[in-house]
Amino acid sequence: MAGGLTFGGKRELLARGLLWSGASFLLSRLPARDSLLVLNYHRIGNAEDDLFDPGVFSATAEQFDNQIAYLKRRLSLVTLDEALAFLDGTIKETTRRCRVLITFDDGYLDNYEIAYPILRSHGAQGVFFLATSMVGSCELPWWDRIAYLVKTARRRQFSLRYPAELSIDIDKNGLTKSLTAILKLYKRPDNSNSEQFIRELAEAGEGEEPPGTLRRFLNWDEAREMTGGGMAIGSHTHSHTVLSQLDPERQYEELSKSRAIIKKHLGADADTIAYPVGRKSSFTSRTQILARDAGYRAAFSSYGGTNVRGKTSPYNVKRIKMVGQSWSRFRVRTAVFRSTSSYCP
């Protein structure tokens, strides 16, 4: 979840080249592929204004507003029900089009304060996947705790040994690269003791204990207002634990408990879930079966990929993570996907 809103590198240069050459315009004139593009946002705002993980900031308010306006104008924004009907083949329409579904993970307060008003102003639906233990809380989730410990580390070189060996050199590799490596280590399926991981990180790097914060996550009243305003609510499990780190019984508890809590507070079933982290290693084939058994109609990953009718598992609907998207790259990538169903460069 590290990264921040910085733009550069070979892919950025390629995207600018395609945009300036007119290639992306030519792609936009080709017939659209019959497909579903699911975009995965987390936070909307300025990473520089936050003490914790910069990688959960997907866009500023202005960038997000521009992106939604562009998608509405150039592609086809759809609701959750329309997206699922496309995937399960119950949709009636015959027109081939590239559908785009907007989703958010975690339920940060800025989802309600910034993203929701922007979506509503465009008449677009967002799907907000909530980790029910964090709703309305001041809790610092594990990725924010890790980021703060790395940002405040007094030792710039140190090693981690759990769940595998990792050498860190913040001065040599920089904060972003170092934080990315540490978060990758945390997300491994063999990390079965998250508290041990964070404790060893604090000791090895000599980072500061994170401070208390104001409320960071939207509450149930705000979630009800959002559903009344046309948004959809899904589950992101109860505690946002990486499911592949848990045995099947605990996985099922995370899946079913969050669904029951959402039903209790919002009076409606959560038919969809987004797997925490969403990488290929973050859930298993057994997880997908458990999600079905817990009553979910569909489940979303977030490691990229194409969603085509008849070729997408309802328990592995693929999403594209929105991090560090320049305006040039955003337009080129959506134009490429519209015509080819491949989200690149």
Are residue 157 and residue 226 in the same domain, yes or no? no
Query: Residue 333: pLDDT band by 50, 70, 90 thresholds?
Result: confident
pLDDT of residue 101: 98
- Rounded to whole angstroms, the Cα distance separating 308 from 322 reads 20
Please indicate, yes or no, whether residues 111 and 245 belong to a single structural domain of this protein: yes
What is the per-residue pLDDT across 158-180, written as a single tens digit (0 to 9) for each? 999 999 999 999 999 999 999 99
pLDDT at residue 3 greater than cutoff 60: no
Same domain, 174 and 278: no
In order of 8, 17, 144, the CA distances from 278 in angstroms are 25, 31, 17
pLDDT digits (tens, 9 = 90+) for 195-233: 999 999 999 999 999 999 999 999 999 999 999 999 999
Q: Is 153 or 89 the better-scoring residue by pLDDT?
A: 153
| pLDDT value of position 6 | 45
Q: Are residues 280 and 134 in the same domain?
A: yes
Q: Give the residue-averaged pLDDT of 48-61.
A: 96
Q: What sign does the dihedral 174-175-176-181 (CA atoms) show?
A: positive
Whether 147 and 269 map to the same domain: the answer is: no
Domain count, the chain: 2
CATH of the domain at 289: 3.20.20.370
Residues 149 and 131 in one domain: no
> What is the C-alpha separation between 252 and 243, in angstroms, rounded?
9
- Kindly state whether residue 274 falls inside one of the protein's structural domains: yes
The Cα-based distances of 260 to 40, 75, 236 in angstroms read 24, 35, 12
Query: What pLDDT is attached to residue 4?
Result: 41
CA distance 194 to 142: 8
* CA pair distance 192, 162, nearest whole angstrom: 10
| Per-residue tokens: 104 | 């958010």
- Could you tell me if 19 and 74 lie in one domain? yes
Query: Each residue of 317-330: pLDDT tens digit?
Result: 999 999 878 898 89
Three-state DSSP at 180 gives helix
Q: Residue 313 pLDDT > 60, yes or no?
A: yes
* pLDDT for the residue numbered 345: 55
Cα–Cα dist 60/114, whole Å: 9
Q: Residue 3 falls within a domain, yes or no?
A: no
Between 43 and 2, the more confident residue is 43
Domain boundary (205, 222, 248) is at 205
Range of the domain at 154: 142-205
One domain, residues 160 and 303:
no
Q: Do 112 and 132 sit in the same domain of this protein?
A: yes
Same domain, 256 and 268: yes
- Mean pLDDT (the chain, rounded): 93
pLDDT of residue 310 exceeding 50, the answer is yes
Average pLDDT over residues 282-288: 98
What token pair was written down for 45? 């705002």
Same domain assignment for residues 249 and 331: yes
Peptide bond into 54 cis (omega under 30): no
Phi–psi pair at 201, nearest 5 degrees: -65, -45
User: Quick one: 55 and 101 in the same domain?
Assistant: yes
- Does residue 176 form part of some domain? yes
1 in any annotated domain: no
pLDDT beyond 70 at 144: yes
At residue 154, φ and ψ (nearest 5 deg) are: -80, -30
Residue 218: other Cβ atoms inside 10 A: 25
pTM more than 0.75: yes
Identify the domain boundary among 205, 224, 250.
205
List 44's β-bridge partners, or say none: 59
* Strands 298-300 and 272-274, sheet pairing: parallel
